[in-house]
Structure 1
Amino acid sequence: MLRRIDEALINRANQSLLNELEADYAALGDKLARQNIDIEAITRSAADFQIAVPSWGTGTGGTRFARFPGTGEPRNIFEKLEDCAVINELSGCTDSVSPHFPWDKVDDFSELKQTADEYGIKWVSVNSNTFQDQPGQEHSYKYGSLSNTSKEARELAIQHNLDCIGYGQQLGAKSLTVWVGDGSNHPGQQHFQRAFERYLASMEQIYKGLPDDWEMHIEHKMFEPAFYSTIIQDWGSNILAAMQLGPKCKSLVDLGHHAPNTNIEMIVSRLIQFKKLGGFHFNDSKYGDDDLDSGSLHPYQQFLIFNELVDAEYRKEQDFNPAYMLDQSHNVTDPAESLINSAIEVQRSFVKALLVNREALYGYQEDNDALMASLELKNAFNLDVSPILAMARYRKGAAINPLAVYRSSGYRSKMAELRPRDPNATGSGIV
């Protein structure tokens, strides 16, 4: 397998930390054994956990006003893939990439797939882009795409999504994620029902183009760029559209696309119950769609979401197989470092949720013992599972301390030499 980080560097770093890790792991194992929890079973589950990296997340994001590119940023999908490979080599839990078209479109998809295969990277959900006009585009998305009053603009957006399915088939992906910025900015600008009807009619044509073994995931967003009304503004509109379109259409939950204090874990439960949970975009948020690093602000909420997901697995919920992906904007950090750290934090929430005593929790719930039920969750959340995560990485040949190895490798400075920044590139914002 083609590697970008020297295995010898990882091995040397791991050996210097191994004795300490083994001691911490043994101590945690003894503690868990007193609760009748097998640490080895938990570690195997941690090693199996995977979360996809968004191709666009490997570059610096920005605000609506300006973007400050970092050094050595990837300039095309092949260089993005190279960074994704590094992230997986060090974290051991990001073996797949989600592409975005037309940003990642290439002339030869077989070459792109071959390169990914050499890195040991898989392709997952493909993302369409009808929220901005492309150079030479004949019909504009300024007033919407799939819900536009212009039939020509809608047909253009439909065809783009069908093209994305074709690209994904060549890469081996199995799902299409659709997010649109459609909506309105002024009261009276748009007829709510007719706009939603146009959206559904457009989505029905895309749905018909799905291969038999594919899913379509609808992503909702509370606001932006449409600040008065948004076509798919919350999980209610999302699940209504998914139910209308058919069994291969499900809802995608982006953690940043909710109003502050929204009970996201309950939304997750509802989507699981009605077999409409397609997947997640993991990030964190302060005000709205901030796309901060996962777990940086609300780690307990992230744990509570995984509590619902692990509970569904425990109950062997039918048709339950959500896709996990990071979706973040890195404005003041090295994107690779943030993605490594975020992947591990999501993995941490998953592992902690595995420690919850489900039968004890069900008993407290049946007895309406609110305090003990809450403490059952808190006890699992408060336990430091870092030794489990580190041991899972070590056994997979990844780094016990991924960020330290990344920095000592000098990868970013090497890329700065190999990927000179375009002096004519715009510094405008992302919106």
Structure 2
Amino acid sequence: MILDKSLIEQHNEKQSALHQKKLDTLTAVLSDEGHSVNAILDKIAAFQVAIPSWALGTGGTRFGRFAGGGEPRSLEEKIEDVGLLHAINQSSGAISLHIPWDIPQNAKAIQQLAASFELKFDAVNSNTFQDQQNQDLSYKYGSLSHTDKGVRDQAIAHNIEVIKHGVDLGSKALTIWLSDGTDFPGQQNFRRAFQRTLDSFQQIYAALPDEWKVFVEYKPYEPHFYSTVVADWGSSLLFCQKLGEKALGLVDLGHHLPNTNIEQIVSRFLMEGKLGGFHFNDSKYGDDDLTVGSIKPYQLFLIFNELVEGMQSAEVNNPELSWMIDASHNIKDPLEDLLQSVEAIKMAYAQALIIDRKALEKAQAENDVTQAQEILQNAYRTDVRPLLAQARLQAGAALHPVSFYRESNIREELVKQRGAKAFATGL
């Protein structure tokens, strides 16, 4: 579906007067506080969040999937959907593919299609947590950590194949989420499982092109419930330090036990120059993959507080970060959910940009706990949505993305084009 940009202009025209009032009020306040609003707008506009191909269809649970209509049935249609999102918000300028769900049959044609929507290819993701059709050996008892060298070799070869697909598309990174682990005590030797995994990682690392990175994701549990090989940020960091400078940790906000201090983890990764990027989502009980900012918006802000401080600090030497959503739910329109998630991410980023850094550092140096809290919460409680809307307006996007999406009946149009029982591939 190609979006008629004149519809965005009509939407913005109807909303412009109220938007301008809100923007003028916020601009006056921020200017009085010493902020350059134009500089903030430039940073907001430049901040792009990649969309994963698997989030474009309705997800589900092990109990069932309640798919909606008009979902993308092919890689081409997934790219079209991300193109739609980017046209609406001008903040979703990249797509992240999952192999083998999204193997391009003609890489050049896929590249051209993505370019027509002004999209790039973010990190490519491997999959050794499922057995695929015509696969010789099973990953039931692990992949890169398996006791059988043949299984490990098969998983290594898959990751190297994913790298090759990424090279063909212009990607620059490989993300590995390893589900390997155990369900019962005594099932495996922890030390040897780690060493086997490290050996597998090293072979994949050796296949990386010079300018590439590998992101090592971690998760404390699921699908295995006694142990996971890459269970936490410490394990991820340890693997990365052993592998080399191209290896970086990837933080999925859902991959933590309840009440984990994720912002402190982010700070540690930054301190070591080993933070690769994020899979943004939200959770209530476990790895729920809910809409970003729907459950813990203040935690998201605190994470961005650490990120902005680290990105601005001369003491931190960390590579450029990769930002991506990783959501999977079973009741919302996936495109509406993604629009909401991008908005929540950029809102937390904008709030972190208006923190009074000098005042915060002074309060921290003087152990003024109350003032430090006041400074953070003043930024968090500031309604920065007019800044996000203005950045979109200047870029030719919609002032209110979800409202525009609904006014334009986009899901209804997709159902007409693809059918009421068109379900996304790969999920």
TM-score per shorter chain, which class? over 0.9
Which amino acid letter does the alignment assign opposite residue 378 of structure 1?
Q
Larger mean Cα displacement after TM superposition, 313-322 or 297-306: 313-322
TM alignment of 1:28-427, pairs within 5 A: 28-316=26-314, 317-420=316-419
Deviations 1:216-235 (A, max 9, x none): 00000111001110010110
Deviations 1:315-367 (A, max 9, x none): 14323411110000131110000001100110000000000111111110000
What is the DSSP-based 3-state SS (H/G/I as helix, E as strand, rest coil) of the residue aligned with 2:237?
helix
Q: CA deviation at 1:420?
A: 2.8
State the percentage of identical aligned residues: 46
Please say if 1:13 is aligned against 2:19.
no
Deviations 1:258-302 (A, max 9, x none): 011100000000000001100000000111110000000100000
What is the DSSP-based 3-state SS (H/G/I as helix, E as strand, rest coil) of the residue aligned with 1:284?
coil
Counterpart-to-counterpart distance in 1, 2:421 and 2:347? 38
Q: CA deviation at 1:421?
A: 5.7
Which amino acid letter does the alignment assign opposite residue 313 of structure 1?
M
Counterpart-to-counterpart distance in 2, 1:333 and 1:15? 28
Deviations 1:192-212 (A, max 9, x none): 111111100000000000001
Deviations 1:100-156 (A, max 9, x none): 000000221111111001111000100000000110110110110000111111111
Counterpart-to-counterpart distance in 1, 2:305 and 2:318? 18
**Unaligned segments of structure 1, at least 5 residues:** none
Aligned pair count reads: 426
- CA gap 1:138/1:405 in 2 versus in 1, 3 angstroms: same
Please say if residues 59 and 330 of structure 1, whose CA atoms lie closer than 8 Å, have aligned partners that are also in contact: no
Please say if residues 249 and 277 of structure 2, whose CA atoms lie closer than 8 Å, have aligned partners that are also in contact: yes
Counterpart-to-counterpart distance in 2, 1:270 and 1:319? 11
Please say if residues 250 and 276 of structure 2, whose CA atoms lie closer than 8 Å, have aligned partners that are also in contact: yes
CA-atom RMSD in angstroms: 1.6
Deviations 1:362-407 (A, max 9, x none): 1100000011011110000000001100000011000001111111
Moved over 2 A (4+): 420-423
**Unaligned segments of structure 2, at least 5 residues:** none
Which amino acid letter does the alignment assign opposite residue 418 of structure 1?
Q
Q: CA deviation at 1:422?
A: 5.8
What is the DSSP-based 3-state SS (H/G/I as helix, E as strand, rest coil) of the residue aligned with 1:198?
helix
Which amino acid letter does the alignment assign opposite residue 309 of structure 1?
L
What is the DSSP-based 3-state SS (H/G/I as helix, E as strand, rest coil) of the residue aligned with 1:112?
helix
Please say if residues 275 and 318 of structure 2, whose CA atoms lie closer than 8 Å, have aligned partners that are also in contact: no
Counterpart-to-counterpart distance in 1, 2:409 and 2:28? 38
- CA gap 1:186/1:426 in 2 versus in 1, 3 angstroms: farther
The alignment's TM-score, normalised by the length of structure 2, stands at 0.97
What is the DSSP-based 3-state SS (H/G/I as helix, E as strand, rest coil) of the residue aligned with 2:414?
helix
